[in-house]
């Protein structure tokens, strides 16, 4: 009954680069309400293959809800979201197949405390992708090396710094071979001196051509690494464009007010 919606995302053969027109992520008129609270009020934007898009905006503006709608951790109330050519808002979509193609990194790392770095990076490969142990270990060592943790494969989360734990979480997502990576304030739980290593890994991923949608308060990262910046406020996209425009020369007063709070935190109380 629904071969078109399920097919592209369910079929591994149709993957590499098979993103179709409109980009890897395409969001149209997305709405999300929690009870009477309309948190997303008609969001439109897209992320092209290889693009890095940073989403910025005040607390409560709906940034996390937006990311969660993109991998169906939240069910949108209205509108469409397409990921890699498949409409994930179709009720018949294979959600697990969608999620296998989307890597997600949260503020809290959510590592299994009883597993080593290697164990944390192999478990989903084994259970979800059904890779054998040797193959999963090989991939895990490779991605842990990419995030600078080749010497920490045997360490447990409690033996790692926050920045190292977050890099394990990034490696865990990369091990699944995602077509797109979503990051939700990946550095905001970290001590300031640990932020740089995580951002460095994200910069490298961006340079390697990974498609990335990143919610962040790190304006330096957005300025350098983003192809586009999306400023959200009150559940809508207020403005979007290259960082040289949105961050350096914003058009809208709301964007200017937000940026002045973020760039001069001492002058205000905004987180």
Ligand X SMILES: Nc1ncnc2c1ncn2[C@@H]1O[C@H](COP(=O)(O)OP(=O)(O)OP(=O)(O)O)[C@@H](O)[C@H]1O
Q: Which of residues 52-71 bind ligand X (CB under 6 A)?
A: 57, 59-65
Neighbours of 241 (CB within 10 A): 15
Two structure tokens written together for 29:
């008129």
65 binds, among Mg ion, ligand X, none (CB under 5 to 8 A by kind): ligand X
Among 19, 61, 64, 216, binds Mg ion (CB under 5 A): 64
- CA dihedral 215→220→222→224, nearest 10 degrees, is -150
Per DSSP (E only), the strands in the chain are 25-34, 37-47, 52-56, 78-83, 86-87, 102-105, 180-184, 211-215, 228-233, 236-241
Cβ proximity to ligand X: between 61 and 71 the closer is 61
Distance CA 47, CA 56 (A): 15
Q: What residue 19 binds from Mg ion, ligand X, none (CB within 5 to 8 A, per partner kind)? A: none
Q: Which CB atom, from 45 or from 183, has the smaller least distance to Mg ion? A: 183
Give the SS3 label for residue 28: strand
Nearer to ligand X, 9 or 215 (CB): 215
**Beta carbon of residue 254, minimum distance to ligand X (angstroms, whole number):** 14
Under the binding rule (CB under 6 A), the answer on residue 116 touching ligand X is no
d(CA 71, CA 103): 9
Burial of 36 (0-12, 13-18, 19+ CB in 10 A): exposed
Site string for ligand X, 9-48 (x = CB under 6 A): -------------------------x----x---------
Q: Quick one: what does residue 89 bind among Mg ion, ligand X, none, with the CB cut-off 5 to 8 Å set by partner type?
A: none
Q: Which residues bind ligand X (CB under 6 A)?
A: 34, 39, 57, 59-65
Q: Which residues bind Mg ion (CB under 5 A)?
A: 64
């Amino acid at each position: 009954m629904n071969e078109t919606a399920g097919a592209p995302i369910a079929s591994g053969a149709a993957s590499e680069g098979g993103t179709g027109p409109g980009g890897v992520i395409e969001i149209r008129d997305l709405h999300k309400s929690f009870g009477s609270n309309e948190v997303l009020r008609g969001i439109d934007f897209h992320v092209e293959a290889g693009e890095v898009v940073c989403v910025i905006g005040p607390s409560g503006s709906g940034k996390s809800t937006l990311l969660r709608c993109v991998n169906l951790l939240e069910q949108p109330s209205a509108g469409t979201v397409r990921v890699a050519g498949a409409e994930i808002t179709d009720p018949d979509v294979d959600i697990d197949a969608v999620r296998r193609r989307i890597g997600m990194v949260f503020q809290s790392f959510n590592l299994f405390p009883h597993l080593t770095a290697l164990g944390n990076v192999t478990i989903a490969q084994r259970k979800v992708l059904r890779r054998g142990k040797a193959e999963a270990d090989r991939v895990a060592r490779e991605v842990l090396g990419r995030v600078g943790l080749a010497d920490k494969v045997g360490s447990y989360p409690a033996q790692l710094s926050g920045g190292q734990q977050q890099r394990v979480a990034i490696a865990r997502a990369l091990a699944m071979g995602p077509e797109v990576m979503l990051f939700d304030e990946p550095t905001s739980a970290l001590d300031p001196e640990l932020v740089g290593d995580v951002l460095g890994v994200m910069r490298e991923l961006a340079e390697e051509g990974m498609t990335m949608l990143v919610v962040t308060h790190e304006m330096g990262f957005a300025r350098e690494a983003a192809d586009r910046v999306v400023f959200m406020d009150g559940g809508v996209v207020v403005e979007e464009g290259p960082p040289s425009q949105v961050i350096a020369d914003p058009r809208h007063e709301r964007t200017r007010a937000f940026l002045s709070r973020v760039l001069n935190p001492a002058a205000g109380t905004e987180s």
